[in-house]
Copies of this chain bind each other. A is one copy, B any other.
Amino acid sequence: MTRTIFEKSDAITLVAEVFRELGYEGASMSNITARTRLSKGSLYHFFPGGKEEMAAEIMANIDAWFVNEMFKPLEEDDPRAAIARMWETTDTYFRSGRRICLIGAFALDETRDRFAGAIQAYFYRWIEALAGALMRACVTTAEANALAEEAVVGIQGALTLARALGDDGIFGRTLQRLRERVEARLT
């Protein structure tokens, strides 16, 4: 047969969405095959290590995306411009709160223990990159660290509450509040 040909990058994207919807434990192989239309043969061809390898590659993929689109700009580009873009990127990536943070979700249950390093590194770098940009924009070290932590905490919390309440507005309102708070220190 071999009807539709997938590349590994397609597989990563498709499987990622299933993990996002169902969680690590909730995403069974039959769920994954059903929702992605990828057969078990294809999945184990791309990911010989099974679910664990899928999840690891998906997280690495997400991390790489954030590094390119958000962390490196924060670390290297004009800080004010990079911070301004961060709000847009965040809103787009999480689809105004309708899409959750897979890495944050993995952190909550014992799935965390499997991927503790990757989870920690992702959030650590986000906070560090934002704090660094703030410092380069002449915010004091203490204030920069507090603001960066507050921003990432707020984003994660807003993602939880957006889904919990089924409220499309809360993510945007939180992002706006955080942005104002940050910009108040920049002027």
Chain A: residues with CB nearer than 8 A to chain B?
21-26, 100, 103-105, 107-112, 116, 119-120, 122-124, 146, 149-150, 152-158, 160-161, 163-166, 170, 173-174, 177
Contacts and interface: CB of A to CB of B under 8 A. Distances in A.
Given A100-B108, A150-B174, 14 more contacts: A21-B110, A22-B110, A23-B108, A23-B109, A24-B26, A25-B25, A107-B163, A120-B164, A149-B173, A150-B177, A152-B157, A153-B157, A157-B158, A160-B160
B109 A21 contact: yes
Contacts of A156: 156-157, 160-161
16 contacts: A22-B25, A22-B109, A23-B110, A100-B108, A112-B163, A120-B164, A120-B165, A123-B164, A146-B173, A152-B157, A153-B157, A153-B158, A153-B161, A156-B161, A157-B157, A160-B160
Tell me if A's interface is mostly helix, strand, loop or mixed.
Answer: helix
Contacts of A158: 153, 157
